[in-house]
Amino acid sequence: MSIPRPVGWELVSDADFAVVADLLGRQPLGHFEIVLRHDDGTPRVIRNAPILGTGRPMPTLYWLVSPHDRRVVSRLESSGAVDVAEAAVDADALIVAHQAYRAERDDLIPAEYEGHRPSAGVGGTRIGVKCLHAHYAYFLAGGNDPVGQWVADQLAEPETTNV
């Protein structure tokens, strides 16, 4: 099954494809575009097509590919920050973020497509917080995501040291 790339998306260059594959540690499984780069030009966040080349739904529209970002967000997650973030943000604002994410993703699916579709919001969840990486990627790409903002705020705070 060949899935057309979303309207308006250009094919990434061979060089960018190779860099993203290296950052992921595997070949990308569907169309994507680079939506944010580090100052040195290295891809930081990609936007995935909502349907992979196999026809399988891809619920995670925005994906962190930066090793640094993945590492620092993983540290947050491993400290129990998923629950902390969910409790810290406005529940209604989080619902709005999930709805906007889903609407954006759904708008990228061709009208004639009749296969399985991804569902839910950020990172494929309907409510709450499942993955700080997905929320942060969405926020970095310009999404109005209170959890992504919370992550950015946590990462901006200076680390404390034991002296």
Q: Please state the domain count of the chain.
A: 1
Instruction: State pLDDT tens for residues 140-149.
Output: 999 999 999 9
- The reply to whether 141 falls in a domain is yes
More confident position, 111 or 5 = 111
Tell me what the mean pLDDT of segment 33-59 comes to: 93
pLDDT at 3 over 80: no
Angstrom distances, CA of residue 151 to CA of 55, 66, 86, 104: 32, 15, 11, 22
Q: Is residue 64 part of a domain?
A: yes
Q: How far apart are the first and last CA of the chain?
A: 59
**Within a domain: 82:** yes
Residue 4 lies in a domain: no
| 124 within some domain | yes
pLDDT digits (tens, 9 = 90+) for 84-100: 999 999 999 999 999 99
Task: Note the pLDDT of residue 4.
Answer: 65
Q: Which domain holds residue 85?
A: 14-156
Contact 133, 46 (CB under 8 A): no
Average confidence (pLDDT) over 32-49: 96
In our burial notation (b when 16+ CB lie closer than 10 A, e otherwise), range 44-82 reads bbbbbbbbbeeeeebbbbbbbbbeebbebbeebbeeebb
Q: Is residue 36 part of a domain?
A: yes
Token couple for 104: 């954006």
Q: Which parts of 26-69 are beta strand (E)?
A: 32-37, 43-48, 62-64
**In the prediction, which pLDDT does 2 show?**
59
